[in-house]
Amino acid sequence: MCSSDLRNMLKNPHYFPIYERHLSRYVGHPVTVFEIGTGEGGSCQMWKYYFGPMCRIVTIDIADKKEFAESQIFVRTGSQDDAEFLGNIVAEFGPPDIVLDDGSHLMTHINASFRALFPAMSTNGTYLVEDLNTAYWADFGGGLRVGGSFIERCKLLIDEMNAEYTNGALAPSAEGRAICNISFYKGIVVLEKAPFINTLLLRRPIPLPDEK
């Protein structure tokens, strides 16, 4: 590809080590990526060349960005808070392994996308939400410790992820049982899925050595 074919993108520089930490395990594998927010088309190109020739990048935008479609990159037009639209994309491409939400940054939209796509992901999937500085801004439906903020939702998910240890004080949720890790960074949250294991069943008394 010549340089004239490369498109622009806007990313915070400190995101790139985070991507490498959480996404490098997918490189070279047949991974399906849903990117919410197409922008100028450079990000989906970056992911295509990062993950390699077996990946599929499905980029989603409320504006028509079909001119950015190319080999391995599929463009779909619709709103990220439209559960039916997102469900149709899952039906078309199968469960995503990675979801990157760099869309409207509105709390209602972020929460709607998460509700629709997180349960539909592969069991070892990774879900990233970027630019969560907006979770603290009223114009985006956020604010410090404001209910409905995606940061506040993720704080609750910490407890839901560990609900099995609360002796019934907190009922397990489907999302909490699916999550094995939540990582908070400046402006970005990463949620990683894994098959649920009831670790309470793995607890065994440790035998002590005989006293002499």
Give the active site residues.
105
* Amino acid type, 115: R
Q: In whole angstroms, give the CA distance from residue 163 to residue 145.
A: 22
Give the pair of three-digit tokens for residue 151: 């940061």
CA Rg value for the chain: 19
Task: Give the residue ranges of DSSP H helices in the chain.
Answer: 15-23, 42-51, 83-93, 107-117, 150-161, 174-178
Give the pair of three-digit tokens for residue 11: 């990313």
Q: In whole angstroms, give the CA distance from residue 70 to residue 74.
A: 7
Contact in structure between 190 and 127 (CB atoms under 8 Å): yes
Contact in structure between 101 and 113 (CB atoms under 8 Å): yes
Of 159, 135, 166, 133, the closest CA to residue 149 belongs to 135
